[in-house]
Amino acid sequence: MDTKTENRAAEGGRAPIGVFDSGIGGISVLKKMISLMPEEDYIYFGDSANAPYGDKPDSEVLRLSESVFDLLLSKGAKGIVVACNTATSVAVRKMRGRYPDLPIVGIEPAIKPAAEQNRGGRIVVMATSVTLRRPKFARLMESFRDQAEIIAMPCPSLVEYIENDRTDDPALMEYLMKKFSRFADHPADAVVLGCTHYPFIADKIRRAAGPQAVLYDGSDGVAREIRRRLAEKNLLKDAAADPERKKALERCGAGHSGIGGNIEILNSAGENQIRLTRRLLGL
Ligand code: DGL
- DSSP of 123-170: EEEEE-HHHHHSHHHHHHHHHTTTTSEEEEEE-TTHHHHHHTT-TT-H
Ligand 1 proximity of 28 Cβ (cutoff 6 Å):
no
C-alpha of residue 83 to centroid of ligand 1, in Å: 9
Domain count, the chain: 2
User: Do residues 88 and 224 share a domain?
Assistant: yes
* Residue 252 among the catalytic residues: no
**Does 91 lie in the same domain as 20?**
yes
How far apart CA 59 and CA 53 sit, in angstroms, is 11
**CATH at 73:** 3.40.50.1860
- pLDDT surpassing 50 at residue 255: no
Half-sphere exposure of 186 (CA within 13 A, CB side): 6
Whole-number Å distance between alpha carbons of 252 and 45: 25
Domain final residue pick, 182, 216, 250: 216
Which residues on neighbouring strands pair with residue 264, listed in sequence order?
Answer: 43
Indicate which residue's Cα is closest to atom 8 of ligand 1: 52
Is 183:8 a contact under the CB 8 Å cutoff? no
**Within this chain, do residues 212 and 253 fall inside the same structural domain, yes or no?**
no
Please tell me the pTM assigned to this model.
0.90
Residue 145 CA, chain-centre distance (Å), reads 25
22 with 53, same domain: the answer is yes
Which residues, at least 6 apart from 46, have a Cβ–Cβ distance to it below 8 Å? 20, 21, 22, 23, 24, 26, 27, 265, 266, 267, 268, 269, 273, 277
Cβ of 53 less than 6 Å from ligand 1: yes
- At 209-232, the pLDDT tens digits run 999 999 999 999 999 999 999 999
The dihedral sign for the CA sequence 203, 204, 205, 208? positive
Same domain, 103 and 223: yes
pLDDT tens profile 144-197 = 999 999 999 999 999 999 999 999 999 999 999 999 999 999 999 999 999 999
Ligand 1 site, residue 103, Cβ cutoff 6 A: no
Please tell me whether residues 126 and 163 are part of one structural domain: yes
What confidence tier does 13 reach under pLDDT thresholds 50, 70, 90? Answer: confident
Using CB atoms within 10 Å of the CB of residue 242, give its burial: 0 to 12 exposed, 13 to 18 middle, 19+ buried.
middle
Q: Is the CB of 21 under 6 A from ligand 1?
A: yes
Q: Exposed/middle/buried for 100, CB within 10 Å: 0-12, 13-18, 19+? A: exposed
Residue that terminates a domain, selected from 188, 216, 244: 216
User: Residues 68, 70, 72, CA angle at the centre, nearest 5°?
Assistant: 70
Residue 1 has pLDDT above 50, yes or no: no
Euclidean distance between CA atoms 235 and 6, whole angstroms: 10
In angstroms, the Cα distances linking 156 to 36, 119, 160, 171, 185 are 32, 28, 9, 14, 24
Contact 190, 158 (CB under 8 A): no
Is residue 162 located within the same domain as residue 199?
yes
The 10s digit of each residue's pLDDT in 76-86 is 999 999 999 99
What pLDDT, on the 0 to 100 scale, is given for residue 5?
Answer: 44
Active site residue 155: no
Q: Which residues constitute the domain of residue 55?
A: 3-107+219-281
Q: How far is the CA of 218 from the centre of ligand 1 (A)?
A: 13
Q: How far is the CA of 87 from the centre of ligand 1 (A)?
A: 7
Q: Which of 180, 201, 216 is the last residue of a domain?
A: 216
* Residue 64 Cβ contacting ligand 1 at under 6 Å: no
Q: How far is the CA of 142 from the centre of ligand 1 (A)?
A: 22
**Closest to 50 measured CA to CA, from 175, 197, 163:** 163
Spatial distance between the Cα atoms of 205 and 93, rounded to a whole number of angstroms: 31
**Is 260 found in the same domain as 135?**
no
Can you give the pLDDT at residue 14?
Answer: 84
> Quick check: CB of 38 below 6 Å from ligand 1?
no
Q: How many CB atoms lie under 10 A from the CB of residue 64? A: 22
pLDDT value of position 170: 98
Catalytic-labelled residue, pool 80, 190, 195, 230? 195
- Answer yes or no: do 8 and 78 share one domain: yes
Say whether both 103 and 143 belong to one domain: no
Task: Judge whether residue 252 has pLDDT over 70.
Answer: no
Closest CA to 182 of 152, 162, 204: 152
Query: What integer is the mean pLDDT of 261-274?
Result: 95
Same-domain status, 9 and 80: yes
CB contact burial 31-43 (16+ within 10 A = b; e otherwise):
bbbbeebbbbbbb
Average pLDDT, the chain: 91
Q: Report which residue type is found at 244.
A: E
Regarding whether 103 and 223 lie in a shared domain, the answer is yes
